[in-house]
Amino acid sequence: MATVSFHLKEPKAERPTAIFAYLAHEAGRTKVYTGLSILPAKWLKEAQRAQVRGRGNELNGHLNDALDAVELAILTCYGQHRATGALPTAGHLKEAIAPTPTEAEPVVAVKTNLLDTYAGWIASRTLTHTPNTLRTYRTTLRHLRDFQTLAKQLITFETVGNAFAQQLAEYLLTKRQLRDTAVRKNLVILKCFLAWAVEQGYPVRPDFKKISWQRREPDILTLTRSEVTALATLDLCQRDALDNARALFLLGVYTGLRFSDVAALRPEHIQADRLRLTTQKTRDTLTIPIQPEARPLLARVTAGTLRPLPNQTLNRYLKELAALACIETLTERTHYAGGKRHTQTAPKYEFVTTHTARRTFVTLALEDGLRPELIMKITGHKDLKSFSRYVNVTEDAVLNEFARVYQ
């Protein structure tokens, strides 16, 4: 299996130095310069990426996005040559990662390999889209490549239409065991790419506009106020990792921020009575009043003692934390796959994830009497339809409100 690693030409230099890549494969290594450079002091050797946290590193995320694109281009080039029984040379790799001219003439080709064009489409968006968005695009590309291998037929613009999308959806449901929400996301991304391809002059089938998949939202999971309190007051003496995970989660509960924005919080975002920041996903600028419970957690951000965690790692910690806090009410969760309803019943702590925090914020704010339009202003939701997917009206909330009105 081929891998790509990035290294600095002069790692001890006090000026920006070139970044080169090694493609490691079964026959050895092939070296190619990326055309990118960085000050060695801002390079993370183990991660093989630039630092993005801290003052002066605000633009390094774009460099990391460019390195992601280079890695994808190198692996794509390797795969294409390996499929023919050959290995790419340094010249092939250099050509593969060369920047695409911004004013190139639209390319119209017969039997064009759609997946190669798709990979180029992703690379062209490295400076304008967030890493998380690019990651979902690459996931769809991986599914398409696997589907092409299984079908043993080249995917081209001439073959991709509504009928192809239905076959792809069946593959995602049966072979990949995806749920309807994930199937729909992949088809939406494919449709978005095809719309761009039409603008570029590629021979896209007109029925691509019919590609769709019904949205079937899973159940909403939120914590009650007493469960939040149990989690916040849990004694975690000498359990620093769990304490750090709890702080990240509770910041989401108290602010309504997405996990990606909590992880990206910096001291400059914190003002006397509010947070003010630009979100990672939508690039919206939000102003969020600071709740008293959030202040000691934000102090840890200012002190630099709150450590971001990968989403998967944090989710694992959250289930352990919720179990320790005895958040164990038997809970039934519903999801859909191919239109079929599936349910699972388990203690509530097994279902807690990072996104539970944002949904809990919305639900508790509504229970406190905050108007929906004000909550939407804080969370950045643009319409009530998308906002409603974050609201969980619990049985206790219904009973308490009913008693308050009709007592």
DSSP H/E element including 383: none
- Is residue 214 over pLDDT 90? no
CB contact burial 173-212 (16+ within 10 A = b; e otherwise): beeeebbbebbbbbbbbbbebbeebeeeebebbeebeebe
What integer is the mean pLDDT of 241-267? 94
Question: What contacts 358, CB < 8 A, 6 or more positions away?
Answer: 252, 256, 257, 258, 259, 379, 390
Distance (Å, whole) CA 357 – CA 334: 19
Q: What is the 3-state secondary structure (H, E, C) of 365-377?
A: HHHCCCCHHHHHH
Burial 344-378, CB ≥16 within 10 A → b, else e: eeebbbebbbbbbbbbbbbbbbbbeeeeeeebbeb
Quick one: how far is CA 65 from the chain centroid?
A: 13
- Over residues 141-175, the pLDDT tens digits come to 999 999 999 988 889 998 899 999 999 999 999 98
* Contact indicator for 289, 378 with CB cutoff of 8 Å: yes
pLDDT tens string 311-347: 889 999 999 999 999 999 998 888 778 778 888 899 9
User: What is the dihedral sign for C-alpha 274, 374, 364, 132?
Assistant: negative
DSSP 349: G
The pLDDT score that the predictor gives to residue 339 is 76
DSSP state for residue 11 in the 8-state scheme: T
Per-residue confidence (pLDDT) for residue 389, from 0 to 100? 65
CB 345 within 8 A of CB 331: yes
Q: Name the amino acid, one letter, at 235.
A: D
The mean of the pLDDT values for the chain is 87
- Closest residue by Cα to residue 242 from 300, 181, 317, 350: 317
Average pLDDT of the residues in 355-379: 90
pLDDT digits (tens, 9 = 90+) for 227-237: 999 999 999 98
pLDDT surpasses 70 at 394: no
Q: What is the DSSP code (8-state) at residue 156?
A: B
Cα dihedral value 64, 66, 72, 76, nearest 10? -160
Confidence of residue 390 (pLDDT cuts 50, 70, 90): low
User: Residue 35 above 60 pLDDT?
Assistant: yes
pLDDT tens track for 51-103:
887 666 667 788 888 898 999 899 888 888 888 888 889 888 898 898 766 55
pLDDT band at 238 (very low <50, low <70, confident <90, very high): confident
State the angle between helix axes of 354-367 and 372-379 in degrees (0 to 180), rounded to the nearest 10.
Answer: 150
Domains of the chain: 1-99 (no CATH), 113-215 (1.10.150.130), 225-406 (1.10.443.10)
Using CA atoms, how far apart are residues 210 and 169, in angstroms rounded to an integer? 14
The answer to whether the CB of 185 falls within 8 A of the CB of 136 is: yes
Q: Which segments of 121-247 are extended strands (E)?
A: none
| Terminal Cα distance for the chain, rounded | 69
Q: How far apart are CA 316 and CA 295, in angstroms?
A: 25
Q: Is the pLDDT of residue 359 over 80?
A: yes
* 3 state SS of 13: coil
Helix (H/G/I), strand (E/B), else coil: 122? helix
What pLDDT is recorded for position 27? 82
Distance CA 273, CA 349 (A): 33
Q: Are strands 17-25 and 28-38 parallel, antiparallel or unpaired?
A: antiparallel
Least confident span in 97-106, 139-148, 194-203, 244-253? 97-106
* pLDDT score, position 110: 45
Query: Which amino acid makes up residue 380?
Result: G
Short-list 33, 39, 44, 51, CA closest to 12: 39
Residues of the chain with pLDDT > 90: what percent?
A: 48
> What would the mean pLDDT of 189-215 be, rounded to a whole number?
90
Put simply, whether the predicted model's pTM sits higher than 0.75 gets the answer no
Cα separation, 171 vs 349, in Å, equals: 32
